[in-house]
Copies of this chain bind each other. A is one copy, B any other.
Amino acid sequence: MGIRDISHPGLYTDLYQLTMSQGYFRTGMHKKPACFDYFFRQAPFGGQFVVFAGLADLLEVLESYRFSKDECNWLLDKGFDREFCDYLSGYRFDGTVISVREGEIVFPAEPVLTVSGSMLSCQLIETLLLNILNFQSLIATKARRLKLACGDRKLIDFGLRRGQGTGAIAASRAAAIGGVSATSNVLAGYRHNIPVSGTMAHSWIQCFDSELNAFQKYADMYPDTSILLVDTYDSVGSGIPNAITVAKELEERGNRLLAIRLDSGNPLELSRKARAMLDDAGLDYVAIAVSDQLDEGRIVSLMRDKAPIDYFGVGTRLITGHPDGALSGVYKMSWFGDRPTMKYTDEPSKRSLPGIKSLSRVSDEDGTFRHDIISLKKTGSSDPEADSDGPDGRDSVNTQQFIRKLVMQNGKITKTTTDLSAIAGFSSERTDRVPEPVKRLSNPACYDIRINQSIANLIDKLKQKV
C-alpha cells in the first residue's frame, strides 16, 4: 500500500518529532508515560461523519518501525547527538493502541484512537500516524458518500492516473472500504484482494481501420467481459450502433456483451439514448457504464432523473478526495507523567479534550445509533475499555457499548482485521445504522456527541491552573 514498501519508516516523519524526541531523551523525559488521542474537529465534504480507515496499515508499520544504520548516520550528520542516534538505531515501537475498528463510522471530537506508552514512542510516530489515518479516512468517507449517492448501482475506481503519486494505492484500498466494488488499479487489487475491472482506451480503437473492427477484436478476446468504449468518434452515430452489432454477433456464439461505456457528452441524455437503442435491439442485459468527472453531486442528479446507468466510474474526485484533499485529523497529548494535559491556544476551536477517555455508543432498539458518549476512564484501571465489549465487536441493541478495542499492546498487534472485504462489510453495516439526517449528503444534521461532565470539570480545573 505504499507505506509498507518503505523498509525503514522511522524517517517518514516531520523533523520536529526527532528534535523534540532528542530533547525528551536528553532530559530523561523520554520514558515518562504519556497518552495521545487521534481525532478530527470537522468532517470533510460538508458532511457530519467519517469512515475510519488505515488502521491495519498503521499497525503493520508500527510493528516494523525501524531506523536503518544509514539513516542514523545521516541524522548524526545533520547534527543529532551520537547517543540519541545510537538509541534510535535500536529503537522499536513499544506503545499500546486502543482504537475503533477499521471501517467504523466516527464523529467530530471523538477519540477515535488512543496511543499510550513512553513519551518518546507516542511522539515519534505522530506524523506517520496522521499521514496514514487522515488520508485513508478521507478517501473511505468520499467513497461512502459516492455510494450513498448511487444506491444499488456499482461504483468503480478509475483514479490511479490522477492519484497523488503512490498515495493512490492506499486510496484504492480505502475506497473499497467505503463501498467501491472494483478498481482499475491492478497493484491495489493484487495487494489488497480488491476485484479489478477495466474497459478500453481510445488508443485501442485508433489502432484499427474501423471502430467496428476494434470492437470485434476486443470482443473475440473477452467474449463475456467486454465493456466497449463508444465515444471515440460519435457515440450515438457510430459507437452505440457498432456495439449493438458486436453484441448480436456475440449472442450468435452464446456470449453476452457486458456493457458499453460513455466517457464524454451529457451523461443523462446519452445514457437514455443508449438504453433505448440497446433495448430496441433486444439487448436489455447490456449494462451502461458512465465516467467523466463524476462526483456525489452529479450522481445524485443522475439518480434523481432516473438515468439508466449501471456502473459509475469515478476517478479524480474519488482518488484525491476532491474538493477537500485532506482530513484535518490531529493527534494531541491528553496525559503526561502523572497528570492530564490539554492544548489551550488562542482559538477555542483548536483545543483538545484532556485525560484518558473512553468512547461509547448508544443505539436504539432497531439498531440505529442514537448518540455517543466521551467519558473519563476510571483512574487506576489498567483494563483497556475495549475489554468491556464483546469479542465480536457488535453492539447489542439498545445499550451503551464501548466501541474501541485494544489493537496493539507494547508494540505487538493483539487484534486486527486485515481482510478488506470483511472491513468493507462491517463499514457498510455500520453506515446503515447512522440516522438518515446525519448521513444526508447536503445539509446533514449533527450527530449527538455527549462530552461527559467529568471532562468539562477537568477542563475548568486545568484552565484555572493556567
Pick the interface stretch among A89-97, A216-224, A278-286, A369-377.
Answer: A216-224
Q: Which residues of B are found within 8 Å of A218, using beta-carbon distances?
A: 23
| CA–CA, A217 and B235, complex, Å | 70
Contact B316 A320 (CB under 8 A): no
Fill in one digit per residue for A334-369: 1 if any B CB lies within 8 Å of its CB, else 0. 001100011111110010000000000000000000
- Within 8 Å of chain B (Cβ to Cβ): is A423? no
> Among B12, B20, B135, which residue has its beta carbon within 8 angstroms of that of A164?
B135
Instruction: Count chain B CB atoms within 10 A of each CB in A12, A189, A319, A328 and give the residue with the most.
Output: A12
Contact B325 A164 (CB under 8 A): yes
Q: Which residues of B are found within 8 Å of A165, using beta-carbon distances?
A: 1-3, 131-132, 135-136, 164, 166-167, 169-171
Chain A contact residues (Cβ within 8 angstroms of B): what range?
Answer: 35 or more
Contact B196 A23 (CB under 8 A): no
Shortest beta-carbon distance, A146 to chain B, in Å? 15
Shortest beta-carbon distance, A377 to chain B, in Å? 20
> Among B202, B264, B322, which residue has its beta carbon within 8 angstroms of that of A347?
B264
Q: Which residues of B are found within 8 Å of A189, using beta-carbon distances?
A: 15
| CA–CA, A363 and B186, complex, Å | 44
Given A74-B190, A221-B23: A127 and B196 interface contact (C-beta under 8 Å)? no
> Among B29, B204, B232, B316, which residue has its beta carbon within 8 angstroms of that of A325?
B316
Contact B164 A320 (CB under 8 A): yes
- Within 8 Å of chain B (Cβ to Cβ): is A134? yes
Contact B167 A207 (CB under 8 A): no
Pick the interface stretch among A155-163, A414-422, A449-457.
Answer: A155-163
Given A16-B199, A198-B14, A221-B26: A343 and B169 interface contact (C-beta under 8 Å)? no
Q: Which residues of B are found within 8 Å of A22, using beta-carbon distances?
A: 221
Contact B198 A336 (CB under 8 A): no
Contact A343 B232 (CB under 8 A): yes
Contact B161 A204 (CB under 8 A): no
Contact A203 B20 (CB under 8 A): yes
29 pairs from A and B in contact (CB 8 Å cutoff):
A2-B5, A3-B166, A11-B187, A12-B187, A14-B160, A14-B185, A19-B200, A23-B217, A24-B207, A36-B203, A127-B160, A130-B161, A134-B161, A162-B326, A163-B167, A163-B326, A164-B321, A164-B326, A165-B166, A165-B169, A166-B170, A167-B168, A203-B333, A207-B333, A233-B345, A263-B345, A264-B350, A317-B325, A320-B325
